[in-house]
A and B are shown apart, each in its own frame.
Chain A
Amino acid sequence: MASKQPWLNPAVALGGLAPLALLAVQGAQGELGANGIEFALNQTGLFALAVLMASLACTPLRLVTGWTWPARIRRTLGLLAFTYAGAHFLTYSVLDQGLDVRAMAEDVLTRPFITVGFTAFALLVPLALTSTSKSVRRLGFPKWQRLHRLAYVAAALGVVHFVWRVKKDVTEPVIYGAVLALLLSVRVGEALRKKRALAAQRTA
Chain B
Amino acid sequence: MRDKLPPEPPGSEVTPEKVYLRRRELIKNAGLFAGTAAVVGGGLYLLGMKRTRPMDGFVPDAGQVAQPVAPAAGAFDTTEPRTPYEDITTYNNFYEFGLDKNDPARRAHTLKPRPWTVVIDGEVHKPQTVDVDQLISSFPLEERVYRMRCVEAWSMVIPWLGIPLGKLLERVQPTSFAKYVAFTTLEDPEQMPGQKSPVLDWPYVEGLRLDEARHPLTLLATGLYGKQLPAQNGAPLRLVVPWKYGFKGIKSIVRISLTREQPRTTWNLANGREYGFYANVNPAVDHPRWSQASERRIGDTGRRPTLPFNGYAEQVADLYRGMDLKRDF
Q: Mark A88-105, 1 if CB is under 8 A from B, else 0.
A: 000000011110100100
Given A31-B53, A35-B101, A7:B47 Cβ within 8 A: no
A10, A35, A111, A165: the one within 8 Å of B91 (CB): A35
A64 at the interface (CB under 8 A from B): no
A26, A33, A111: the one within 8 Å of B290 (CB): A111
| Complex CA–CA separation, A114 to B91 (angstroms) | 24
Inter-subunit contact B33/A11 (CB<8 Å): yes
Inter-subunit contact B298/A35 (CB<8 Å): yes
CB neighbours (8 Å) of A98 from chain B are 301-303
> Which of B38-46, B69-77, B307-315 faces chain A?
B38-46
Inter-subunit contact B41/A7 (CB<8 Å): no
A43 at the interface (CB under 8 A from B): yes
B-to-A contact residues, CB < 8 Å: 29-30, 32-45, 47-48, 50-51, 53-54, 83, 86-87, 90-91, 95, 99, 101-102, 152, 154, 197, 199-200, 270-271, 289-291, 293-294, 296, 298-299, 301-303
Inter-subunit contact B53/A33 (CB<8 Å): yes
Chain A interface residue number, banded: 35 or more
| Complex CA–CA separation, A7 to B303 (angstroms) | 44
A6, A12, A37, A42: the one within 8 Å of B40 (CB): A12
CB neighbours (8 Å) of B90 from chain A are 33-34
Q: Mark A1-28, 1 if CB is under 8 A from B, else 0.
A: 0000111101110111011000000100
Inter-subunit contact B40/A11 (CB<8 Å): yes
Q: List 23 A-B contacts (CB under 8 A).
A: A7-B29, A7-B30, A8-B32, A15-B37, A18-B37, A18-B44, A19-B41, A33-B90, A33-B102, A34-B90, A35-B91, A35-B296, A35-B298, A46-B47, A47-B47, A50-B44, A51-B44, A106-B291, A111-B289, A165-B289, A169-B99, A169-B197, A172-B50
Inter-subunit contact A33/B41 (CB<8 Å): no
Inter-subunit contact A15/B41 (CB<8 Å): yes
Given A32-B53, A35-B154, A47:B48 Cβ within 8 A: yes
Inter-subunit contact A113/B154 (CB<8 Å): no
A38 at the interface (CB under 8 A from B): yes
A-B CB proximity, top 9 nearest: A15-B40, A34-B91, A7-B33, A11-B36, A15-B37, A15-B41, A33-B53, A34-B87, A18-B41
A39 at the interface (CB under 8 A from B): yes
| Complex CA–CA separation, A37 to B296 (angstroms) | 9
CB neighbours (8 Å) of A134 from chain B are none
CB neighbours (8 Å) of B154 from chain A are 35, 38
Apart from A12-B36, A35-B296, A46-B48, what are 6 other A-B pairs with CB-CB below 8 Å?
A7-B32, A15-B43, A34-B83, A35-B101, A35-B298, A106-B291
**Nearest Cβ in chain A — how far from B22, in angstroms?**
12
CB neighbours (8 Å) of B86 from chain A are 34
| Complex CA–CA separation, A36 to B42 (angstroms) | 21
CB neighbours (8 Å) of B87 from chain A are 34
CB neighbours (8 Å) of B290 from chain A are 111, 113-114
CB neighbours (8 Å) of A19 from chain B are 41, 44-45, 48
CB neighbours (8 Å) of B102 from chain A are 33
| Complex CA–CA separation, A177 to B51 (angstroms) | 19
In the complex, what residue of chain A is closest to B90 when comparing beta carbons?
A34
Inter-subunit contact A113/B303 (CB<8 Å): no
Given A32-B53, A33-B53, A16:B291 Cβ within 8 A: no
**Nearest Cβ in chain B — how far from A118, in angstroms?**
14
B36, B37, B48: the one within 8 Å of A43 (CB): B48
Given A11-B32, A33-B102, A16:B296 Cβ within 8 A: no
B36, B298, B303: the one within 8 Å of A8 (CB): B36
**Nearest Cβ in chain A — how far from B147, in angstroms?**
16
| Complex CA–CA separation, A165 to B274 (angstroms) | 13
**Nearest Cβ in chain A — how far from B39, in angstroms?**
7
**Nearest Cβ in chain B — how far from A18, in angstroms?**
4
A31, A112, A168: the one within 8 Å of B99 (CB): A168
A190 at the interface (CB under 8 A from B): no
User: Which of B41, B83, B199, B294 counts the most chain A CB atoms within 10 A?
Assistant: B41
CB neighbours (8 Å) of A8 from chain B are 32, 36
CB neighbours (8 Å) of A47 from chain B are 44, 47-48
**Nearest Cβ in chain B — how far from A10, in angstroms?**
7
Inter-subunit contact B41/A16 (CB<8 Å): yes
| Complex CA–CA separation, A172 to B29 (angstroms) | 36
Given A19-B41, A34-B91, A42:B51 Cβ within 8 A: yes
Given A10-B33, A15-B39, A34-B54, A96:B199 Cβ within 8 A: no
B32, B38, B48, B296: the one within 8 Å of A15 (CB): B38
CB neighbours (8 Å) of A137 from chain B are none
CB neighbours (8 Å) of B45 from chain A are 19
